[in-house]
């Protein structure tokens, strides 16, 4: 996870949830970062994922 763009699987691993949960958050949580397509796959911007994490009460962990 050293890139500036992460796959759904990488985001799920970061949050400690399943990829299904990430997809559910995309549908239900308007504040969850929106993905973009890169080479035909959905990707999330690292900065947006970190900001989302910081805004929520789960903790203050950072990407390694």
- Tens digits of per-residue pLDDT, 14-29? 999 999 999 999 999 9
Per-residue pLDDT, 30:
93
φ, ψ dihedrals at 42, nearest 5°: -75, 135
For residue 11, count other CB atoms closer than 10 A to its CB. 25
Q: Which residues pair with 5 in a beta bridge?
A: 45
What pTM value is reported for the model? 0.79
Q: Determine what percent of the chain is predicted with pLDDT higher than 70.
A: 84
Domain 5-55 matching CATH 1.10.1660.10: the answer reads yes
Per-residue pLDDT, 63:
47
pLDDT top residue among 22 and 62:
22
Contact (Cβ atoms closer than 8 angstroms) between residue 44 and residue 35? yes
| Residue 42, CA atoms < 13 Å, CB-side half-sphere | 11
Q: Determine what percent of the chain is predicted with pLDDT higher than 90.
A: 70
């Amino acid at each position: 996870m050293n890139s500036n763009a992460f796959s759904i699987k990488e985001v799920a691993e970061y949050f400690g949830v399943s990829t299904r949960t990430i997809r559910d958050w995309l549908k239900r949580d308007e504040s969850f970062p929106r993905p973009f397509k890169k080479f035909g796959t959905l990707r999330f911007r690292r900065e947006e994922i970190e900001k989302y994490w910081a805004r929520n009460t789960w903790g203050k962990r950072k990407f390694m």
